[in-house]
Structure 1
């Protein structure tokens, strides 16, 4: 099975409003940065330097420029399709005098090559097994008073993910997909994040939230996971249209039972884990 899912920016952005909400909540808890100008969220005199790890289509990366108008912001991702979409939509000078740029990088290997005021990641680190091992280098790459902030899913034990894993592990689909049909995800307990970040000399704020998303339309949970959790399976099935249709139909039926449609839509619980860690000033 391919190690890296093929991402579809259009499918991912179909639920951009719901997907952006956790990032806005994360953004609201990030304190002033070491660099920046008064009124722009910073406390120094120079423009903030910001990295967005796993920037995807760039739609949330652009929100960083709203909070820090003068910042030089680099979005990093390993999906060429996502980077292409981000560059077309957002790359270039920002209205506040800053700059948005997008570069190819693997989150599992990236390390800061200059001092940063903020390293942020939105719904990406779950795809990087052992990502906590990168925290020391990332925090070392922050200026004193700089911030590491991220949010990741916490719903891997929910029906949408559990049913997908069980279906992939069934005899029919194991023959097609192999013994490890789903890419590993790194589920870390919030308390472990708190301990790790505090041990690294940070002041850490870790919390979790479960959003009750009210989705509308036909099979909305299936449409949702087509943009994220289902991508490794769709990538593995590739151009086999018949197998893709069969697998999708079986998974759809399971989701319909697990997430029945109500009078106002389909309720989809969406648990997220957040962390904001500030490097202790020297």
Structure 2
């Protein structure tokens, strides 16, 4: 896929940052020396970490050059480095490994989380949030639309870009041996958006990318027209004209 587009991602900056705020609020650290923001994106979550731990060395890690450039501009007091979370390990002992909406893209992310958990010292914290929305109409209808048109062959592998998240029991079984305390929970957000066009705008920078990028412009417009039609049946407009995008997210915090 092409590189991420920070400006489009940040069109919904408040909504995308809210889960990071909610996750950080549960991190049981009064202070920290070294903090890593894994999958830092355009730096919106990194800025929260800098504010929370003003004395810490905060380093954002991402595999997108565009996101790293945007993050460095938005948060100059932090450090930023390129890294692939499938294999990355901290160069210095971390007090906090923090990740907002990144590990769902990592193949075998449970294995990656196990590896990273082992790098934490006693008292260190792993804090992770991931979208758990592949069963939602927004994503089910992407796949149905991909299978319903002349673009089906081109999009046969699109759904493989992400897997359904494991059940909480799987995270507990794999990660609890690393932590004296492990908490796992879900939060469901209901984002008010400007009709189905708002849903498409939200998803174009994330879940829709594997579906629209392989298509020629004419095919892309046809795909999106059919997708919008299907979305309209699943997300009825409220009295004020908005639609509510139901968005479940999985959270976990481990204390070593």
What does 1:182-261 correspond to in 2, within 5 Å?
182=159, 183-216=161-194, 219-237=197-215, 240-261=216-237
Equivalent residue of 2:176, what SS?
helix
Stretch deviating more after TM superposition (189-198 or 151-160) = 189-198
- Residue 5 of structure 1 and its aligned partner are, at CA, apart by 5.0
- Residue 62 of structure 1 and its aligned partner are, at CA, apart by 0.8
Larger Rg belongs to: 1
What does 1:96-107 correspond to in 2, within 5 Å?
100-107=78-85
Given candidates 65, 75, 81, the residue that maps to 2:60 is: 75
- Residue 195 of structure 1 and its aligned partner are, at CA, apart by 2.5
Structure-2 separation of matches of 1:256 and 1:166: 14
Structure-1 separation of matches of 2:149 and 2:206: 24
Structure-1 separation of matches of 2:173 and 2:153: 41
Structure-1 separation of matches of 2:220 and 2:75: 33
The answer to whether the 8 Å contact 1:56/1:86 transfers is yes
CA-atom RMSD, angstroms? Answer: 1.6
What corresponds to 1:159 in structure 2? 137
Structure-2 separation of matches of 1:58 and 1:272: 20
Given candidates 36, 40, 49, the residue that maps to 2:34 is: 49
What corresponds to 1:37 in structure 2? none
What corresponds to 2:71 in structure 1? 86
Structure-1 separation of matches of 2:190 and 2:247: 6
Aligned: 1:22 with 2:19: yes
> 5+ residue gaps in structure 2?
none
TM-score by length of 2: 0.93
Deviation >3 Å, runs of 4+: none
What corresponds to 1:147 in structure 2? 125
Structure-1 separation of matches of 2:96 and 2:167: 23
Aligned: 1:7 with 2:4: yes
Count of equivalent residues: 254
Structure-2 separation of matches of 1:137 and 1:77: 18
- Residue 217 of structure 1 and its aligned partner are, at CA, apart by 5.5
Does the C-alpha gap of structure 1 residues 5 and 200 become closer, same or farther in structure 2, counting only changes over 3 Å? farther
> 5+ residue gaps in structure 1?
33-40, 94-99
Equivalent residue of 1:145, what SS?
coil
What corresponds to 1:96 in structure 2? none
Structure-2 separation of matches of 1:212 and 1:78: 29
Structure-2 separation of matches of 1:169 and 1:111: 39
Stretch deviating more after TM superposition (16-25 or 196-205) = 196-205
Structure-1 separation of matches of 2:164 and 2:42: 22
Structure-1 separation of matches of 2:224 and 2:15: 23
TM-score by length of 1: 0.85
